[in-house]
Amino acid sequence: MINRSLIRVKVLQVLYNYYHKESMSISAAQETLEAAMESDYRVYLYLCGLPLDFSDLARKLIGIEEGKFSPDPDRLSLLRALETNPVVQHIESDQDFVVRRMTTSVFHNPEMSESHESILSEMLDEQSFRASQLETFEGARQFYRNLYGDKYRQSDRVYDILETTDAFVTDADLPVIFSFVTKFYNGLDPDKEVSDLLRPKFASKSDGDFGSTLLRAAIDNKEAYRERISGYFKGWDAERVSEVDYLLLQMAMAEAVAFPTIATTVTINEYLNLAHSFSSDNSYVFINGILFRLFTDLKEEGKIIGD
């Protein structure tokens, strides 16, 4: 689930913190990177289990409705369909997933609970769904797929809540996380355990090792890489180059040297995307020019072999 694009974002975050916290050791930086990637994965687990949150909320609202002098039968019917349906039962049957999900910080965030309640209240008032939709597994799967896509993936408030809940979760991470959550809802299958449908944290061991290797290479070779990079600043005042731009160039060179078979076109595009998210518009042009010349020279020196 955590692909290399997302890993680069995490490495950039940690590298920035490493240089701005004098007490942070390299080992602490590595541990922070692991924690940052784990945070993203836990957000993924949390969002995959949204039907459980709506089930819990429906159960609470059923008690309130039943306590009224004149309960609304239509409202009760909708709430009971949310409390228990084939998808909820299927997810609840995987206790390993349920327990893992409960460890996420988002799970305990009252703002997210308020968001759930606001969304459900709106749906109930508008009667925007029918209880019969949730009677079959496929109908319930499609319901939750649409609920997630319409009410969560597109919500600025949800973005804000997820970012403020965990310092390591950024708006650059969330589109990647959201795309994998969508795949989870698309793939829900009554014949497959939920845990089997979840994407692993890393697709391969090489992806799992990528972040720590990149971080260490960037830290260990900072002085040599920055000296080399600054040699390409013709027409640019080195004193005016932002710290983020330096970090992006330092990381890009570290990646090119530490992973010489990665195509340089891929590396350049990845760091231009990071510049777009974390730096200025001018940085995009600046970084593109520097990396093109740098990688051309490194190829001629035989230090990288990517296309």
114-164 pLDDT, tens digit per residue, is 999 999 999 999 989 999 999 999 999 999 999 999 999 989 999 999 999
CATH classification of the domain holding 256:
1.10.940.10
Q: Let me know whether 193 and 233 are in one domain.
A: no
Decide if 215 is inside a domain. no
Tell whether 132 is covered by a domain. yes
- 184 and 35 assigned to the same domain: yes
Summarised one tens digit per residue, pLDDT across range 61-111 is: 999 999 999 999 999 999 999 999 999 999 999 999 999 999 888 989 999
Judge if 159 and 256 occupy the same domain.
no
Which of 137, 165, 197 finishes a domain? 197
**147 and 23 part of one domain:** yes
Which domain range does residue 231 map to? 221-300
Q: How confident is the model at residue 237 (pLDDT cuts 50, 70, 90)?
A: low
Domain endpoint, select from 182, 197, 212: 197
Question: Domain tally for the chain?
Answer: 2
User: Is 202 inside any structural domain?
Assistant: no
pLDDT confidence of 50, banded at 50, 70, 90? very high
What mean pLDDT is reported for the chain? 93
- Does some domain include residue 182? yes
239-255 mean pLDDT: 91
Specify the pLDDT at position 302: 87
Confidence of residue 253 (pLDDT cuts 50, 70, 90): very high
The whole-number average pLDDT for the span 181-197 is: 96
Over pLDDT 70: what percentage of the chain? 98
Tell me, yes or no, whether 166 and 242 share the same domain: no
Would 79 be classed as within a structural domain?
yes
The answer on 239 and 174 residing in a single domain is: no
* Lowest mean pLDDT, pick from 82-86, 109-113, 193-197, 240-244: 240-244
Residue 283 in this model has a pLDDT that exceeds 70: yes
> Are 237 and 101 in the same domain?
no
Give domain status of residue 193, yes or no: yes
Residue 218's pLDDT is what? 97
The one-letter amino acid code at 185 reads Y
Q: Is residue 203 part of a domain?
A: no
Average pLDDT over residues 22-51: 94
Q: Concatenated DSSP letters for the chain?
A: ---HHHHHHHHHHHHHHHHH-TT--HHHHHHHHHHHHHHHHHHHHHHHTHHHHHHHHHHHHHHHHHTSSS--HHHHHHHHHHHS-HHHHHHHT-HHHHHHHHTSTGGG-HHHHHHHHHHHHHHHHHT-S-GGGGSSHHHHHHHHHHHIIIIITT-HHHHHHHHHH-TT--TTTHHHHHHHHHHHHHH--TTS-HHHHSPPSSSSHHHHHHHHHHHHHHHHTHHHHHHHHHTT-TTS-GGGS-HHHHHHHHHHHHHHHHSTTS-HHHHHHHHHHHHHHHS-HHHHHHHHHHHHHHHHHHHHTTS----
User: Residues 37-60: what's their mean pLDDT?
Assistant: 96
Question: 188 and 242 share a domain?
Answer: no
Q: Are residues 26 and 98 in the same domain?
A: yes
* Same domain assignment for residues 152 and 254: no
Is the model's pLDDT at 238 over the cut of 70? Answer: no
Q: What is the pLDDT of residue 307?
A: 67
Across 49-66, b (16+ Cβ under 10 Å) vs e yields bbbbbbbebbeebbeebe
CA–chain centroid gap for 303, Å, is 33
- Are 27 and 122 in a shared domain? yes
Domain-located, residue 264: yes
Please report the pLDDT score of residue 45 as a whole number. Answer: 96
Under the banding of pLDDT at 50, 70 and 90, the label for residue 170 is confident
Residue 51 shares a structural domain with residue 165: yes
Query: What pLDDT is recorded for position 270?
Result: 96
